Every structure is written in C-alpha cells, then in structure tokens.
Amino acid sequence: MSELGIYFGPKQIDITEVKSRRLANNVSLGVSEITGNELDEKVPAEIKITAAFNDIFRRNKIEAKESVLCLSGRDLIIRTFEIPVLPKEEMQSAINFEAKKYMPFKVEDLISDYQLEMDKVSRTNMVLYMGIKKDTYNKYVSVFNQLNIKLKSIEYAGFSILKYLKLSGVKDSGVIGVICADSQSKDEVNFVVLENGFPLFTRDISLSSGADDLDKIPETDSQVASIDKLKSELKVSLDYYRRKFPTKGIKNLIIICGQDWRFEIENYSAELGLSSKFVDFAKVVGKPVSYSSSFAKSYSAAIFKTGGIKIGLDLIESKSKSEKVVKSPIEVASIFKGFRLDLRFIVAALLICAGTFLYGFFQKNPFEQELELAVGSRVQVPGVPSSSSLESLKSISSKYKKTLENLDNLIKNQLYITETMDIVPRVLPQGIWLTKFSFNSKDGESDLNIEGMSYLGDGDKEFQAVNDFLNSLNSSAVFSKYFKSVNIAFIDRAEFARQQVTKFSIKCKTAVKPRK
C-alpha cells in the first residue's frame, strides 16, 4: 500500500508517493499551469486541479487511497502564545479570546486546533494554535473528495518537515532552530524554533520580490539577491525571537537546503554565533535526487506512517468535533419502539398527579397568608419595592456597593497621561504611523496599547524603525515615569494597500498606586 503527500506552495504543487518510506513517484508542477494563480479565488480552479491530478495519477500509475495535505503559511494561521493554567472547561474560550488578538478576521470563520505545553517553572501553558479559513478548507477537501482519496491530515509545511528530520536521525532535544530553504525562490522559506520538539516560534519568508522581479535579472545576481535577503530576514527573525524568549537561547541550527546554499547558510550561522548541522536530502530519501524544498515537504507529508512527532494538531478531527449531530424524528421515535400503553396506567398516573397538586395547594395556602402579612409590615424605603424578595434585596445591596467602589476607585486611582502621551508624537521615527490607541485601568494597574504600521520599502529597516520607537519611549524620563514596562507585543509583515508593511503593537504597563 502506498502513501501520498501533496504540498500546495505559493508557486508550485508537489506530489510525492512513497511505499514503505521508499520514494515511488514525484511530480512537480507550477500553480499557474493549472489555475492561472487563482487557486484560492474561483471555484473553477478546483475542477482544473482535480482534472490535472487525475491525469498525473493515471500517467504515473499512482493508486494511493490516503493522503496528507501539506500547506504553506499563506493558507494557515500559526501562532504560539502563553496563557495561565485554567480549568479544562474554560480553556477553549480563553484560547479563542487570546487568538483574536493575532487575527484580522473572526475566530468563528476558522476551523482550528490547539496544543498545550506546560511550563512547570512559570506555571503557564504555551499554546500552539493553528487555524484555516472555512472556505479555504472546503475548497481543498472538495478536491480530495472528487479524487476519491481519503484526506488523513492537513499540516503546516514548517511542521511536516520535522518528520523528515526525525527520519534523518536529528535529535530535537533542547532549543533548536530549523530552516528549510530553496535557492530557486519558487517556494517560501520556513524558519521554526523548537524546544524539545514543541514549536516556540514560526516564520515564513518569501524571497521573491514583487511580480517575479528576480526572474528579470541574471541568475547569478538573482542568487546573490536571494541569499542576501534570506540572511537579512533570518537576522530579523532571530532578533524578534530573542526579545520574545530571552531565556530560551537557540543552541543549534538545522539546515535543510541544496548544496549550492549549504556553505553560505553555515557560514552565516557561525557569524550569528550558532552551531549548525546540514541534513542531506538525498541521503534521507535513499536515492540520488535533486533537492527542492517543495519536494522535501511533500515527501515529509507522505511519510505520515513513520514514527510521529510531538506536534499533534488535527484540523480534520477538529472539524468533525465541531459538527453537532442532531437526531431525526424517526431516530427519536425508534427509541420508544416496542412500548405499549395501557389505559388503566394512564388514568392512575393522572389521579396521582392531581392528588399531589391539590395537597401542595392546601399546604402552602396558610404560609402565603403569613408571608403577605410580613411583607406588608416592612418599613418603606424609597427606591426599594416592599414586595422585594431576599434575593432581590441582596442584589440591590450588591449593586450599590459596586457603584460606591467604582466611584472610590475613580477618585483614588486616577492616572493623568496627558503629559505622557505628548511624548509619543515627539519620538515617532520617520516611516511609522499609528493606527490605534487603547488605555485601560483596573484594580490599580494601567495598560496602554499602541498599534501602528511602518513602511520604508525594506522589512529590516521597518523592524529597526519600530525598535528605535520602542527605545525612544523607554529612554524618555516622562514616559518611563508612568510606564515601567514598555515592550513589543506583536510585530509582523503584512499587506496594506497592496504594499508589504510591518504591523506592530507596543504594550505599556504600570501599577498605579492610590493617592493618599
């Protein structure tokens, strides 16, 4: 029995068939060859993909009935974040609430799954969250249904490659970085940081520039531009990771690439102070094959029956659990099939119910009269109805106490930030604009969230501009007087007005002591 792995990349689709982990078939084709670069936009693309796959399966005699789908980062939402230890019944809602901070659309529009890793030292849960838009999920599933192939799993390419590393014998103990790159720039570069096999950080790096600009220049210059951009983006990723996890230093960098980039990345890794290990794709496959990152990812997806990895996310199982099964009237009626009603039992049951009701009525009548007398003798208080029950009185008392506490807090815990906020526009670097402010103060603690964008035409410069802005806020005596903790909560590259910009969020926090 053969297994199938299919990788849908940004520009290339790769199909790999294995039999007992041995490579049987591999076919690569450009996305534009069958969809015209409209894979996610129009329904006819599904029909084109299905027809193309049927033709490939027929010509290569591929008869696999099960497959794993491997997707690039553009189709999935991958995030890691921390949450406190919570009861199991509260975990899902807490994770959804936290995940909303990292998404430009509703969590309800996603099919998602998550995995927890307990940090026993800090007593917190590290959450690995993966989601896919429902319409995107349905399009891919539709293709496999038409191919009559059972879809075993939907995986993120950066995680699929970890099965390939396991097969190669690479140990995942400690904190390690994994980079999967391709000099041809037809695929995204995946950079993942793991702690004992559990992902702490993921980043997808595109080496292409605009509308295939690298294809318009000589190949040698294109290769130089690609490796230079890879080094720059890798440095930015490492800088961000170290700010987010200052106590979890990377010990080793695992390199998956072609021989043409091996020494470039190894030498740059040494410059960054990291030891490195190169994994030869041909040795793992067991055949003298040409390397491509899309080939490596589809092969990794195909070996799903090989020993598992620590990541256990399953979007298909999550989708099944979310669907509520409602029994039809016929199914409900079948429960009572075989029961026969006797008229004598029905009359006896009605008499018992009527007797119970009458007995209770006569028993409670004296009590209600006594209760009416007690209520009538109450002292009249303005705003409180004399007919109020004990629970109503407790509720009214609680509301008054809460109102008094709020008024007391407003008086005692005021925070004047006019002078502080005046600093923000004064230290704002060129190329950065702010999009949102939010200020919250509760129980003596105050949070200020500053969101914005940076556009300088270069991701490295934009990240540096955000860092300069952060440093300027921290170095301001007036600003730091109120906010003792000023950190970057979120920073990533995104598309805005058809341009690649850097979106960021800075969180400022301080404990406000009540005035005496």
Q: Where are the domains of the chain?
A: 1-81+128-170+290-324, 82-127, 177-278, 418-511
Pull the structure tokens for residue 10.
């940004």
Measured between alpha carbons, how far apart are the two ends of the chain, in Å?
Answer: 78
CATH of domain 418-511: 3.30.980.50
Q: How confident is the model at residue 325 (pLDDT cuts 50, 70, 90)?
A: very low
| Average pLDDT of the residues in 97-104 | 80
Task: Please give the pLDDT value at position 380.
Answer: 66
Q: How confident is the model at residue 340 (pLDDT cuts 50, 70, 90)?
A: low
Pull the structure tokens for residue 192.
């993942």
Average pLDDT, the chain: 82
Whole-model pTM: value is 0.60
- Whole-number Å distance between alpha carbons of 80 and 490: 12
| Average pLDDT of the residues in 284-301 | 88
User: What are the CA-CA distances from residue 445 to residues 120, 486, 508, 515 (Å)?
Assistant: 27, 14, 11, 14
CATH topology agreement for domains 177-278 and 418-511: no
Q: How confident is the model at residue 513 (pLDDT cuts 50, 70, 90)?
A: low
Task: Please give the pLDDT value at position 484.
Answer: 86
Lowest mean pLDDT among 281-290, 293-302, 361-370: 361-370
**pLDDT at residue 37 greater than cutoff 60:** no
Question: What is the residue type of 258?
Answer: G
Q: Each residue of 156-169: pLDDT tens digit?
A: 999 988 988 888 88
| Average pLDDT of the residues in 219-244 | 87
Whether the Cβ atoms of residue 480 and residue 469 lie closer than 8 Å to each other: no
Whether the Cβ atoms of residue 67 and residue 3 lie closer than 8 Å to each other: yes
Cβ-in-10-Å burial (0-12, 13-18, 19+) of 250 comes to buried
**pLDDT at residue 306 greater than cutoff 80:** no
Task: Please give the pLDDT value at position 501.
Answer: 92
Q: Where are the alpha helices (DSSP H) in 377-442?
A: 390-412, 418-421, 423-427
Q: Name which residue leads in pLDDT, 28 or 106.
A: 28
Residues facing residue 494 across a β-bridge: 501
Task: Please give the pLDDT value at position 43.
Answer: 47
Pull the structure tokens for residue 303.
């070996």
Lowest mean pLDDT among 166-170, 285-289, 330-334, 481-485: 330-334
Fold of 177-278: Nucleotidyltransferase; domain 5 (3.30.420)
User: What are the CA-CA distances from residue 181 to residues 184, 231, 264, 494 (Å)?
Assistant: 9, 11, 12, 21
Q: How confident is the model at residue 328 (pLDDT cuts 50, 70, 90)?
A: very low
- CATH of 1-81+128-170+290-324 among 3.40.220.10, 3.30.70.1290, 3.40.50.2000, 3.30.420.40: 3.30.420.40
User: What are the CA-CA distances from residue 139 to residues 39, 119, 265, 319 (Å)?
Assistant: 9, 38, 37, 14
